[in-house]
Amino acid sequence: MNDITEPASLPNESALKAAGSEHLFIHASSYRALADDSSKRILVEGHGAVVKDIEGKEYIDGLAGLWLVNAGHGRTEIADAYARQAGTLAYASSTQATTIPAIELATRLAELAPGDQGTAFFCSGGSEAVESAIKIARQYHYFNGEPKRSKIIGRRGSYHGATYGAMSVSGTRPMSEPYHSPFMHGVHHASPPYCYRCDFRQTYPACDLLCADQIEQIVNYENPKTIAAVIAEPISASGGIAVPPDDYWPRLREICDRHGILLITDEVINGFGRTGRMFASEHWDLVGDIMTIAKGLCSGYAPIGAVMCRPHVVEAFEGDNKLSHLLTYGGHAAACAAALVNLEILEREGLIANSEHMGARLKEGLEGLSDHPTVGDVRGLGLLTGLELVKDKETKEKFAEDGEELKTLGEGLAQRGLLTRVGGVLPLSPPLCITADQVDNVVSIIDDSLTEMETAHGLA
Ligand SMILES: Cc1ncc(COP(=O)(O)O)c(C=O)c1O
């Protein structure tokens, strides 16, 4: 499938599996998942859009890891930059110092970010970026003489992270509710711009964007002077990769401005070329007051995230108005050096344009599968694409997330060499260096796997 070379030598596979099953608690999994769950594999190598497991089987990485390996796998250039910086000075504490890579990365991000988002606060990942954004937003209002502005509005279906604040503002929190409530208080959730399953049973444009206006209704009901921020992904990935209508973002931006509310654009997945632009905000000339970024910032080569702030936000923190928030790993020098090279690769190899073109090819290929009885909708922008699967196209009945149909589909995809997460929406978000042949292969693997699933479960 590609030019992955044989690794020199690997530890004994069954011994590794036994040790991993016993000692490794895999995220979002049950204990001993490595032994009990056949969908968990040990990956040993990757190159471009392809990864290889310990048994030597190769897969197209349909989700770029977890929506982040934008530059692709096996980039020794990024690894070298990390190693060079780590060998020189890996770390400096923000209580006393910063480093050259941190300053250079912040400066580069200021050039790339939408509008005048010119100042970066670094952290280790997306959840920390969201926690930091919430705290920055609340403290901003405090310093501006509005300490009551503490509430946050999120949207149903959106995911903003796993830590407490990020989980609380996430619209996926009903799944965590049995275990992790009570959540952070003062959080409200509005309907998303998810036209295929509109909460208001309306159709765009006749709906006149009721979903955006609902946010203003919540604001007015709660008292606008108590709302700190609205947080939203320009295109919600967890919310089903629903691309909003073109006038959604201008409307929401205007609502926030009118009420003095900060808009936090969460580009943790959307950013760094994923949607065919450096940031998805660019599709709508959107400039959040605060933007959260992570994932594609370093393509998974080092854990790093950031919060980008516009001048009016950081200017609230001048003089004695210090930010009351500190993370040990924020601005990690080696991670910043790696991220700088990652950004250079995205630019030098034209990977953002490739995302646009390969994304269009992928979407067209997926639209060609619309005759399948289970393909309800095909959506996306750039290489953030998704296919909504339904049991019945008329009623839009959903598949059970843990049902046999999706299990069959997942096994079929993996067996044919495509890794992705299988759910009601099949997300396709591969490395941005994916080739046209690989895109066509993804489509044909999905085609065959859908046919197999439909036949096996009497849906053909
Ligand atoms: C939009 C968004 N924000 C935040 C996060 C949290 O990022 P992390 O898992 O790096 O903490 C995610 C994770 O998928 C995300 O999709």
Q: What are the pLDDT digits (tens) for 195-238?
A: 999 999 999 999 999 999 999 999 999 999 999 999 999 999 99
CB 432 within 8 A of CB 342: no
Please name every residue paired with 242 in a beta bridge, in sequence order, or none if there are none: 236
Domain boundaries, the chain: 13-74+350-456, 77-348
Ligand 1 geometric centre to CA of 170 (Å): 10
- The two tokens of residue 112 are 């790339």
Find the mean pLDDT for residues 289-298: 98
Q: Is 161 in the pocket of ligand 1 (CB under 6 A)?
A: yes
pLDDT per residue over 335-384, tens digit each?
999 999 999 999 999 999 999 999 999 999 999 999 999 999 999 999 99
Which residue from 123, 269, 274 has its CB within 8 A of the most atoms of ligand 1, so it is best to mutate?
269
77-348 has the same fold as 13-74+350-456: no
Question: pLDDT-derived band of residue 1, with 50, 70 and 90 as boundaries?
Answer: very low
pLDDT at 184 over 80: yes
Q: Look at the block and give the residue holding tokens 């923000």.
A: 94
Residue nearest (by alpha carbon) to ligand 1 atom 7: 126
Residue 268 alpha carbon to ligand 1 centre in Å: 6
Distance between Cα 44 and ligand 1 center (Å): 24
Tokens read off for 436: 């046209």
What are 106's two structure tokens?
A: 């912040």
- Contact criterion met (CB below 8 Å) for 82 and 342: no
Q: What is the pLDDT of residues 411-456, one digit of tens each?
A: 999 999 999 999 999 999 999 999 999 999 999 999 999 999 999 9
CATH class of 77-348: alpha beta
Q: Tell me the backbone φ, ψ of residue 300, rounded to 5 degrees.
A: 85, 0
CB distance 63 to ligand 1 below 6 Å: no
* pLDDT (mean) for 27-32: 94
Distance CA 122, CA 23 (A): 31
* CATH T-level topology, domain 13-74+350-456: Aspartate Aminotransferase, domain 1 (3.90.1150)
Q: Chain centroid to CA 214: how far?
A: 25
- Is 195 a pocket residue for ligand 1 (Cβ < 6 Å)? no
Looking at residue 13, what is its pLDDT?
85
What does DSSP assign to residue 113?
S
Cβ neighbours, 10 Å, residue 118: 16
| Distance, first Cα to last Cα, the chain | 31
Q: How far is the CA of 126 from the centre of ligand 1 (A)?
A: 4
